[in-house]
């Protein structure tokens, strides 16, 4: 009579480390860990030995030394007597400035071109396709260099604007002058300014703070008005008219504040050989902005097109069948579904813009790469420290951008069970 | 009754009418125009704006193209010819710079009597790629393609034939080790031999053996140093090498990121997120400035090789993310089916999961490749002469071509466009070919 023997005794043999799937992953991980540690130790050991050979140490003390070089475009006070750390801050802010400007412009343009690409109109469809294919398939460096060449080679010198019969004229109602050295744009000024607060690191304009506070307040108030209208609608079935209240709440306080602060725009004026009065934006910034924007617009246009095309036409028809107006259909049905597809790749485009802004070096714009990774590195000879710090800062920027955009993505993504 | 009833109908047609022509607005050009250009107020406005843009572009650019000069020795001469032929103040392209300097744009400072070598390498590249790209060709040709790296290295850099041959021999050593290990019948000997023997061979044996063979049978091809590389030879060398190396690395990283093993996963995630978070320029900087710190004192190896390594790591992180998307998009049932067939991890990945996941990821992989090829222009910032800025600056530095901007940009841009557009069209062809769902 056959008897069932008990389960084999659980005994551990050394070969089970390799053949038993329960233990094998542990073995592999231990081996990987050992290899990884060995690799890191090897690199660190090499670095220490190399530093010793060169007679260098590893320290960030150089950041507090005098920088001794000038930066043509700064958002905060800076002179060549400032420290390397200050120069790094200036570079970081310049990186963020051009990245922000390019993101904003590329999003708007990309939205327009992406929508136009879906248009049944043959000419528009072809034109936008050509735009997208041409700009996507050619390196961004070329577009930046082309933009720079346009600004420096094609634009007239400032003195061409002079005289009774000038050969060049300003554009946009005599407010912007494109020259081969800089772009003169109007300067927003406050005649009754509230002054600045010194934060130690940089100055913050109280006027700007006041404007931000007022706009935030207006938006919150408007939300309250709309929420109240919805409550009334839910209770009585009739939605009170709110557009004039919203308009008043949104516009009037800001207008009052601007009048109180004495807001006016100072146009650039040609005095002598140069434009004064406005802000003279360096052409390297303009070229970088233009190049990055045109290039990224092509990618964003494709993302927008794919996003809208991913919402099936049945959705529109269903919304119409429910009696929604076209505006509501777009806002309540199409857009939420399209955004779900659009936002994740849009995040990576914003990251790409930030990373591509390091091409500023090609046109001499002093971004983080130009200050910390450029002149500071060359002056102090601290390659290791400067490049590591620069990588760390770029990494931090990328993580912050993707973190913020992921928060937004969570608010639009498909809510699953 | 029935007779009278029949009489009540006044008229019955007995013949068919011939088909009338459709209304004018429903056929031919008119219909097309109505449907595609003037179907509404908005559409009409868009059409007019589009036509205006086209006319404006043509007005700005067409004369410039038509006035182009192909035969001249310098930019002033070009301008003079244009002024003579089309009158004072006429603008025109000076294509003569391309005619004079095309060799620099394509080959950099590669010795001109050896131009056939990079050209042959490019032709052989397509020959080697053909069996991989087009499945109609016999599969066995792929074995020949495996030899291509050594051939390309000899053609591009020259030097002793034994160096690349011994490097390739590492794979043979690994294969032989695996075969012998399998014969011993002992477990684990074969895979260990396949991995360890080639590494040992490369680290300790390959160099001395190549030296000895070189002393016994000197087989030399004229050497070209890396600093002679430039233009599209440089771009394509870096691009092709990095593309072919980054795909396997990217697959490994993607599998690592989806692994159940915590440590492997953490390392993969850390690597991918670090690389994706920093600009390529900083990595190239690391290659040119920091590798001297990280490697044992006294090591110094070729700058092009360093750049290829860095570009490969950069692209691999992006490809890993693309493939991770493909792996995630695959229905869970496929993984479970592979497990239920009793396949181990590598077999299930190789036979079931990866073929499908890679197929889904093709568009993303190819656009990463296109991005990589475009990014090869960034090598200018570590002192290599890329075609876009390095060579155009070099051309502009000569007295004859001082101040020439648009023509070199257009030439270089056009070549990049052809390569990248070709790649994206190929990916669309491949997508269509591999489609297995309902059409």
Asked if the structure places residue A153 within a domain, the reply is no
Looking up tokens 């908005």 gives B42
Counting the structural domains of chain A, the total is: 2
**Residue A68 belongs to domain with CATH number:** 1.10.3720.10
Using CB atoms within 10 Å of the CB of residue B406, give its burial: 0 to 12 exposed, 13 to 18 middle, 19+ buried: middle
How many Cα atoms are found within 13 Å in the side-chain-facing hemisphere of B256? 23
B39 neighbourhood in chain A, CB within 8 Å: 120
Q: Rounded to an integer, what distance in angstroms lies between the CA atom of residue A121 and that of residue B45?
A: 10
Q: Is residue A302 located within the same domain as residue A387? A: yes
Low-confidence ranges of chain A (pLDDT < 70): 1-10, 200, 414-417
ipTM: 0.86
Is B46 within 8 Å of A116 when comparing Cβ atoms? Answer: yes
Q: Is residue B270 located within the same domain as residue B364? A: yes
Q: Is residue A215 located within the same domain as residue A101? A: no
Q: Which of B24, B94, B140 is nearest to B408 (CA)?
A: B94
Asked if the structure places residue B147 within a domain, the reply is no
Is B279 within 8 Å of A358 when comparing Cβ atoms? Answer: yes
How far is CA A161 from its chain centroid? 34
The model's pLDDT over B170-194, given as tens digits with 9 standing for 90+, comes to: 888 888 888 888 787 766 677 778 8
Alpha helices in A310-382 (DSSP H): 313-321, 326-328, 335-356, 368-370, 377-380
CA distances from A66 to A87, A93, A354, A364 (A): 10, 19, 28, 22
Q: Is residue B335 located within the same domain as residue B388? A: yes
A139 neighbourhood in chain B, CB within 8 Å: 374-375, 377, 388, 416
Asked if the structure places residue A20 within a domain, the reply is no
Ranges assigned E (strand) in A149-219: 177-178, 182-185, 187-190, 196-198, 203-205
Q: Is residue B283 located within the same domain as residue B368? A: yes
Q: Is residue B192 located within the same domain as residue B315? A: no
Is A142 within 8 Å of B409 when comparing Cβ atoms? Answer: yes
Asked if the structure places residue B356 within a domain, the reply is yes
Phi, psi of A66 (to 5 degrees): -65, 135
Over residues B149-171, the mean pLDDT reads 85
Q: Is residue B210 located within the same domain as residue B239? A: no
A window 208-247, beta carbon within 8 A of B: none
The model's pLDDT over A274-322, given as tens digits with 9 standing for 90+, comes to: 787 778 888 899 999 999 999 999 999 999 999 988 888 899 899 999 9
Asked if the structure places residue A149 within a domain, the reply is no
Q: Which residues, at least 6 apart from A113, have a Cβ–Cβ distance to it below 8 Å?
A: A128, A131, A132, A297, A298, A301, A304
Asked if the structure places residue B36 within a domain, the reply is yes
Asked if the structure places residue A98 within a domain, the reply is yes
Q: Is residue B246 located within the same domain as residue B318? A: yes
Q: Rounded to an integer, what distance in angstroms lies between the CA atom of residue A191 and that of residue A409?
A: 42
Strand A279-282, strand A182-185: pairing: antiparallel
A156 DSSP 8-state letter: P
How far is CA A65 from its chain centroid? 31
A23 neighbourhood in chain B, CB within 8 Å: none
Is A127 within 8 Å of B53 when comparing Cβ atoms? Answer: yes
Q: Which residues, at least 6 apart from B123, have a Cβ–Cβ distance to it below 8 Å?
A: none
pLDDT at B5 over 60: no
Residue B207 distance to chain A (closest CA, Å): 22
Is A153 within 8 Å of B403 when comparing Cβ atoms? Answer: yes
Mutate to test the interface with A, among B55, B293, B344 (most CBs of A within 10 A): B293
Strand A182-185, strand A274-276: pairing: unpaired
A142 neighbourhood in chain B, CB within 8 Å: 377, 388, 409, 412-413, 416
Q: Rounded to an integer, what distance in angstroms lies between the CA atom of residue B92 and that of residue B262?
A: 64
Six token digits for residue B159: 């030097």
Q: Is residue A253 located within the same domain as residue A282? A: no
Asked if the structure places residue A49 within a domain, the reply is no
Instruction: Decide if B395 touches A, using CB distance below 8 A.
Output: no
Instruction: Decide if B196 touches A, using CB distance below 8 A.
Output: no
pLDDT of residue B345: 85
Q: Is residue A288 located within the same domain as residue A246? A: no
Q: Is residue B289 located within the same domain as residue B217? A: no
Asked if the structure places residue A181 within a domain, the reply is no
Looking up tokens 């690349």 gives B164
Q: Which of B182, B368, B134 is nearest to B272 (CA)?
A: B368
Residue ending a domain, choose from B74, B98, B122 = B98
CA distances from A232 to A236, A249, B184 (A): 6, 19, 85
Residue A323 distance to chain B (closest CA, Å): 23
pLDDT of residue B439: 45
A window 349-378, beta carbon within 8 A of B: 351, 355-356, 358-359, 361-362, 369, 373
Mutate to test the interface with A, among B60, B281, B384, B412 (most CBs of A within 10 A): B281
**Pairs across A and B, CB distance < 8 A:** 150
Closest residue in A to B272 (Cα) is A395
Counting the structural domains of chain B, the total is: 3
pLDDT at B27 over 70: yes
| Percentage above 70 pLDDT, chain B | 97
Asked if the structure places residue B152 within a domain, the reply is no
Contact B318, B364 (CB under 8 A): no
CA distances from B399 to B78, B216, B396, B405 (A): 14, 50, 8, 14
Q: Is residue A213 located within the same domain as residue A117? A: no
Q: Is residue A289 located within the same domain as residue A258? A: no
A394 neighbourhood in chain B, CB within 8 Å: 277-279, 282
Residue B184, domain extent? 160-221
Looking up tokens 């392209």 gives B93
Q: Is residue B248 located within the same domain as residue B185? A: no
Asked if the structure places residue A335 within a domain, the reply is yes
Asked if the structure places residue B11 within a domain, the reply is no
Q: Is residue B294 located within the same domain as residue B252? A: yes
Phi, psi of B407 (to 5 degrees): -65, -50
Q: Rounded to an integer, what distance in angstroms lies between the CA atom of residue B362 and that of residue B322?
A: 9
Instruction: Decide if A134 touches B, using CB distance below 8 A.
Output: yes
Instruction: Decide if A52 touches B, using CB distance below 8 A.
Output: no
Q: Is residue A357 located within the same domain as residue A287? A: yes
pLDDT of residue A415: 66
Is A25 within 8 Å of B261 when comparing Cβ atoms? Answer: yes
**Residue B420 belongs to domain with CATH number:** 1.10.3720.10
Taking residue A257's Cβ as centre, other Cβ atoms within 10 Å add up to: 16
Asked if the structure places residue B124 within a domain, the reply is no
List the single residue in A51, A146, A369 with the smallest CB-CB distance to B293.
Answer: A51
Residue A226, domain extent? 187-266
Is A138 within 8 Å of B406 when comparing Cβ atoms? Answer: no
Q: Is residue A307 located within the same domain as residue A402? A: yes
Over residues B122-133, the mean pLDDT reads 86
Q: Is residue B232 located within the same domain as residue B202? A: no
Instruction: Decide if A57 touches B, using CB distance below 8 A.
Output: no
Asked if the structure places residue B118 within a domain, the reply is no
Is B264 within 8 Å of A32 when comparing Cβ atoms? Answer: yes
Taking residue B337's Cβ as centre, other Cβ atoms within 10 Å add up to: 14
B window 95-124, beta carbon within 8 A of A: none
Instruction: Decide if A124 touches B, using CB distance below 8 A.
Output: yes
Q: Is residue A242 located within the same domain as residue A132? A: no
Q: Is residue A262 located within the same domain as residue A293? A: no
Q: Is residue A282 located within the same domain as residue A410? A: yes
DSSP letters along A330-348, please? IIIIIHHHHHHHHHHHHHH
Asked if the structure places residue A346 within a domain, the reply is yes
Closest residue in B to A125 (Cα) is B50
Q: Rounded to an integer, what distance in angstroms lies between the CA atom of residue A298 and that of residue A136?
A: 6
Looking up tokens 């879906």 gives A118
Residue ending a domain, choose from B204, B221, B238 = B221
Residue ending a domain, choose from B221, B245, B271 = B221
Residue A375 distance to chain B (closest CA, Å): 14
Q: Is residue A259 located within the same domain as residue A203? A: yes
Asked if the structure places residue B343 within a domain, the reply is yes
Least confident of A136-140, B136-140, B255-259: B136-140
Q: Is residue B214 located within the same domain as residue B320? A: no
B282 neighbourhood in chain A, CB within 8 Å: 358, 369, 373, 387, 390-391, 394
Contact B94, B407 (CB under 8 A): yes
Confidence of residue B238 (pLDDT cuts 50, 70, 90): very high
CA dihedral sign, ordered B147, B149, B153, B155? positive
pLDDT of residue A109: 95
Residue B2 distance to chain A (closest CA, Å): 52
Instruction: Decide if A14 touches B, using CB distance below 8 A.
Output: no
Confidence of residue B33 (pLDDT cuts 50, 70, 90): confident
Q: Is residue B272 located within the same domain as residue B419? A: yes
Six token digits for residue A180: 């081969």
Residue ending a domain, choose from A220, A243, A266 = A266
| Percentage above 90 pLDDT, chain B | 26
Six token digits for residue A378: 């060359």
């Amino acid at each position: 009579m056959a008897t069932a023997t008990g389960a084999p005794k659980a005994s551990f043999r050394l070969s089970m480390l390799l053949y038993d799937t329960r233990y094998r992953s542990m073995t592999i991980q231990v081996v990987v860990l050992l290899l990884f540690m060995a690799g890191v130790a090897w690199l660190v050991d090499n670095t220490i030995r190399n530093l010793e050979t060169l007679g260098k140490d590893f320290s960030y003390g150089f950041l507090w030394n005098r920088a001794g070089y000038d930066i043509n475009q700064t958002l905060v006070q800076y002179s060549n007597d400032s420290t390397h750390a200050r120069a790094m801050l200036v570079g970081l802010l310049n990186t963020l400035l051009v990245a922000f400007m390019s993101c904003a412009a590329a999003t708007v343009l990309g939205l327009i071109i992406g929508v136009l690409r879906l248009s049944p109109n043959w000419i528009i469809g072809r034109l936008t396709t050509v735009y997208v294919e041409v700009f996507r398939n050619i390196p961004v460096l070329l577009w930046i260099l082309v933009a720079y060449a346009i600004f420096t080679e094609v634009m007239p010198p400032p003195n061409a604007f002079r005289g009774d019969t000038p050969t060049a004229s300003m554009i946009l109602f005599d407010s912007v002058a494109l020259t081969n050295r800089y772009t003169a744009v109007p300067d927003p000024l406050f005649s009754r300014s509230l002054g600045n607060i010194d934060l130690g690191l940089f100055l913050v304009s109280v006027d700007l703070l006041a404007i931000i506070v007022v706009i935030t307040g207006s938006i919150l108030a408007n939300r309250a008005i709309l929420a109240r209208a919805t409550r009334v609608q839910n209770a009585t079935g009739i939605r009170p008219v709110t557009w004039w209240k919203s308009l008043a709440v949104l516009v009037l306080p800001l207008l009052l504040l601007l009048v109180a602060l004495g807001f006016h725009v100072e146009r650039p004026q040609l005095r002598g050989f140069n434009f004064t009065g406005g802000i003279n934006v360096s052409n390297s910034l303009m070229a970088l902005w233009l190049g990055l924007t045109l290039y990224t617009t092509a990618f964003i246009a494709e993302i927008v097109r794919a996003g809208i095309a991913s919402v099936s036409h049945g959705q529109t028809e269903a919304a119409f069948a429910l009696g929604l107006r076209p505006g509501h259909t777009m806002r309540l049905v199409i857009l939420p579904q399209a955004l779900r597809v659009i936002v994740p790749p849009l995040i990576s485009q914003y990251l790409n813009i930030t990373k591509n802004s390091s091409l500023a070096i090609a046109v001499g714009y002093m971004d983080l790469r130009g200050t910390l990774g450029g002149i500071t590195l060359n002056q102090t000879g601290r390659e290791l420290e400067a490049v590591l710090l620069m990588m760390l800062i770029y990494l931090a920027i990328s993580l912050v951008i993707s973190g913020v955009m992921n928060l937004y993505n969570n608010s639009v993504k498909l809510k699953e069970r | 009754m029935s007779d009278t009833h029949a009489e009540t109908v006044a008229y019955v047609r007995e013949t068919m009418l011939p088909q009338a022509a459709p209304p004018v607005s429903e056929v031919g050009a008119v219909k097309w125009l109505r449907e595609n250009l003037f179907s509404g107020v908005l559409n009409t406005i868009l059409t007019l704006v589009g036509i205006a843009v086209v006319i404006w572009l043509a007005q700005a650019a067409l004369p410039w193209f038509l006035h182009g000069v192909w035969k001249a020795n310098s930019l002033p001469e070009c301008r003079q010819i244009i002024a003579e032929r089309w009158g004072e103040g006429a603008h025109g392209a000076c294509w003569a710079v391309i005619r004079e300097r095309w060799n620099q744009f394509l080959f950099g400072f590669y010795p001109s009597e050896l131009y056939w070598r990079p050209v042959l390498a490019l032709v052989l590249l397509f020959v080697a790629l053909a069996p991989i790209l087009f499945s109609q060709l016999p599969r066995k040709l792929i074995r020949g393609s495996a030899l291509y790296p050594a051939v390309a290295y000899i053609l591009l850099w020259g030097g002793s034939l034994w160096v690349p041959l011994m490097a390739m021999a590492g794979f043979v050593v690994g294969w032989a080790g695996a075969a012998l290990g399998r014969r011993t019948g002992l477990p684990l000997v074969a895979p260990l031999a396949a991995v360890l023997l080639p590494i040992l061979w490369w680290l300790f044996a390959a160099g001395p053996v190549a030296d000895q063979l070189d002393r016994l049978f000197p087989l030399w091809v004229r050497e070209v140093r890396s600093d002679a590389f430039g233009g599209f030879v440089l771009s394509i060398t870096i691009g092709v090498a990095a593309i072919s190396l980054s795909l396997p690395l990217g697959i490994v990283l993607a599998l690592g990121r989806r692994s159940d093993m915590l440590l492997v996963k953490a390392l993969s995630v850390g690597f991918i997120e670090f690389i994706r978070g920093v600009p390529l320029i900083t990595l190239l900087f690391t290659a040119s400035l920091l590798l001297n710190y990280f490697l044992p004192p006294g090591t110094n190896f070729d700058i092009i090789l360093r750049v290829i390594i860095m570009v490969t790591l950069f692209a691999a992180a992006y490809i890993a993310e693309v493939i991770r998307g493909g792996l995630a998009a695959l229905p869970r049932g496929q993984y479970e089916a592979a497990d239920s067939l009793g396949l181990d991890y590598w077999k299930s990945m190789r036979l079931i999961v990866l073929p499908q996941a890679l197929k889904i990821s093709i568009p993303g992989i190819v656009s990463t490749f296109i991005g990589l090829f475009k990014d090869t222009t960034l090598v200018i910032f570590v002192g290599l002469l890329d075609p876009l800025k390095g060579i155009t600056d070099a051309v502009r530095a000569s007295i004859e071509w001082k101040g020439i901007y648009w023509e070199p940009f257009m030439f270089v841009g056009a070549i990049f466009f052809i390569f990248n557009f070709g790649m994206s069209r190929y990916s669309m062809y491949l997508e269509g070919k591999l489609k297995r769902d309902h059409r």
